[in-house]
Chains A and B, each alone.
Chain A
């Protein structure tokens, strides 16, 4: 069974540009969540989608957005990039069926903003 797949793995963008990151969850998983990891702030929750609906949102500005498609694949978008957006962006998926909700992560997308 394939794991959580994220693309691209590495990318470099210029300040002011926008970026779209993609995530394919484990087959059968309907919950997809996104996290940002930086040396200063650690791992922080961005948002979670379940059945194409955003269920939870972290404390990030509106420049960060996401969506989920009917096949559970998800994308996140960051507009008007800032230097501080440089980070490892991690996608995770789960069945979201109740107790013991194991959450699996992908390898991440490394974003560098110059």
Chain B
């Protein structure tokens, strides 16, 4: 079973626009990680945010975490055609399950030139 939901399921934007996607989860977490997956490829790690952090930035990426609402958001600013991919959030729970990530269903992002 999957930990949570991503919203929206699909997003179509033009180059230069911002893309925002949300992730909700069900149980307490240690960390939340965002990944990108290009069609047929593996997962590329984007950013990790710890449960005691509220916001994190990496280049054009901004991630927020609200543990009271059990939700996170990923913002990609000034999107490019190369950002076209599926984006997944993944959580790990207790210390005993560090290596056990639970994934959402993903958001499919299409960026048109």
Contact = CB atoms under 8 A, between A and B. Distances in A.
B41 interface: yes
Classify the secondary structure of A's interface with B: strand
Interface residues of A, number: 33
A103 B44 CA distance: 10
Interface stretch (B16-24, B27-35, B61-69): B27-35
B88 A107 contact: no
Classify the secondary structure of B's interface with A: mixed
16 contacts: A33-B99, A35-B101, A35-B103, A43-B88, A43-B90, A43-B101, A43-B103, A56-B100, A94-B99, A102-B33, A103-B92, A105-B35, A105-B44, A105-B45, A108-B42, A110-B40
Interface in A89-107: 90, 92, 94, 96, 98-107
A8 B50 CA distance: 34
Interface in B26-58: 30-31, 33, 35, 40-45, 48, 50
Interface residues of B, number: 29
B45 A108 contact: no
Interface string A21-61: 00000000001110100000011110010100001101100
B103 A90 contact: no
B99 A104 contact: no
Nearest to B97: A56
A43 B41 CA distance: 13
Contact of A107 (B31, B35, B41): B41
Interface in A72-114: 88, 90, 92, 94, 96, 98-108, 110
Given A42-B105, A102-B45, A105-B45, 6 more contacts: A33-B100, A42-B2, A42-B106, A94-B98, A101-B98, A107-B42
Contact of A106 (B35, B42, B99): B42
